[in-house]
């Protein structure tokens, strides 16, 4: 009968081409992690970040802009936060070194996660190996 493929032949062909079958949720999660890592690397090269950028890149974990604002106002020094005009509105920003600093200073904020760098765990905030 045409159109039928032996399962073992199909699996062997996938293996020979380096392909695997995974659930859609796994792929979606990998895409989300990739986008967040690209945002992190792009944002950490800037001199200052808005609260929204910190929340979007999940630099302080998966928290909302409102929580970022509360955390920044509690732990950042006065000279680390400034207001910049953007169009007709004023946007509060925090210097990038102060975004990474809480991870190094505050106990329990550094959050090492398994990485694709081998057996190492990397903090998703400051990037240090743990």
Q: What is the pLDDT of residue 52?
A: 92
Give ∠ CA 29-34-40 in degrees, rounded to 5.
125
8 part of a folded domain: no
11 part of a folded domain: no
129 part of a folded domain: no
69 part of a folded domain: yes
pTM value surpassing 0.75: no
C-alpha span between 33 and 27 (Å, rounded): 10
Query: Which tens digit of pLDDT belongs to each residue from 8-33?
Result: 998 999 999 999 898 999 889 889 88
Query: Which tens digit of pLDDT belongs to each residue from 87-126?
Result: 788 888 988 888 776 555 554 555 556 555 455 556 655 5
Range of the domain at 117: 21-123
Q: What is the pLDDT of residue 37?
A: 84
Report how many domains make up the chain: 1
CB atoms within 10 A of CB 53: 21
76 part of a folded domain: yes
Query: Which tens digit of pLDDT belongs to each residue from 27-36?
Result: 898 898 888 8
């Amino acid at each position: 009968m045409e159109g039928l493929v032996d399962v073992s032949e199909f699996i062997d062909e996938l293996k020979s081409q380096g392909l695997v079958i995974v659930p859609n949720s796994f792929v979606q999660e990998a895409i989300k992690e990739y986008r967040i890592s690209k945002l992190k690397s792009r944002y950490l090269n800037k001199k200052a970040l808005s609260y929204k950028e910190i929340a979007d890149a999940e630099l302080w974990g998966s928290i909302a802009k409102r929580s970022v604002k509360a955390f920044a106002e509690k732990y950042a020094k006065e000279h680390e936060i400034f207001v910049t005009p953007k169009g007709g509105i004023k946007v509060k920003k925090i210097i990038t070194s102060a975004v990474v600093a809480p991870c190094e200073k505050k106990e329990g904020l550094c959050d090492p996660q398994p990485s694709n760098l081998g057996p190492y765990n990397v903090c998703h905030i400051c990037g240090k190996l743990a």
